[in-house]
Amino acid sequence: GLLECRRCRYLRTARAYCQIVEALLAVLILVCSSVSYGSTGGYTGLPSLGGIYYYQYGGAYSGFSGADGEKAQQLDQRFYLLKLPIARAAMAVGGCLLVFSCVLILVGVLQLPWHFPAWLLLECILDIVIAIGMVPALYYFFHFLLGVYNSSVCKEREQLYHSKGYQGFRCSLHGAEIAAGLSGCIAVMAYLLSAGLAVRGYRAADNLKQKPVQL
């Protein structure tokens, strides 16, 4: 099949599988983080959005009018701006991890580690650095979000919507943010495993280089 060619055989190795998993996790982090970034916030009302607005939220904001509508809009925009920095940071991290994983896969397919075994040691160091760096990054991610949800803006926004009978605006982590955090935790383990596989690959390549006759 496609993976039987000489270069593509790398994609059947444990290192390649691990790097593909890392790329998929990076995509999950990027997508889940974009959920917070993509929400523009702001109350606009049913007339301007029609059926899309109705089906997205399960009903019209018929309880909002006048000052309440303006207050809801202001709170939505302030809440959105509070979450925006961490959403952008998480998207940047996910994008960088995706590029890094794709580069490693490409390097493996091109068989650069075989010609330069020292590359595997560099790859191991980078994997360890990323895995270690992800730990404080995850802590900051959740710490920042919890700070936003505990803010007076979020509490006031929740109370305002709750007073009109809407229950989807609670000050708590939502599914996409939890999924992004869990993906990051799994990525830490994947990068540590990848570092170990890189060391094993270096030893194997070094032994083969020293025994060309057996090769």
Q: Are 195 and 12 in contact (CB under 8 A)?
A: no
pTM of the model: 0.81
- pLDDT tens for the chain, 215 residues long, are 444 555 677 788 888 999 999 999 999 999 998 887 665 444 444 344 343 333 344 344 455 666 777 787 888 888 888 988 999 999 999 999 999 999 999 988 888 877 788 889 999 999 999 999 999 999 999 999 999 999 999 999 888 888 877 777 788 888 889 999 999 999 999 999 999 999 998 888 777 767 655 44
Between CA 59 and CA 87 the distance in angstroms is 27
Q: Secondary structure of the chain: what % helix, strand, coil (to 5)?
A: 80, 0, 20
Q: Are 20 and 105 in contact (CB under 8 A)?
A: yes
Can you say whether the dihedral through the CA atoms of 135, 136, 139, 144 is positive or negative?
A: negative
Q: Are 202 and 121 in contact (CB under 8 A)?
A: yes
Q: Which of 36, 60, 75 is nearest to 154 (CA)?
A: 75
Q: What is the 3-state secondary structure (H, E, C) of 5-57?
A: CCCHHHHHCHHHHHHHHHHHHHHHHHHHHHHHHHCCCCCCCHHHHHHHHHHHH
- Residue that has been written with the tokens 């309440």 in this structure: 68
Count H helices and E strands in the chain, helices first: 7, 0
Of all helices (H) and strands (E), which one includes residue 119?
helix 118-149
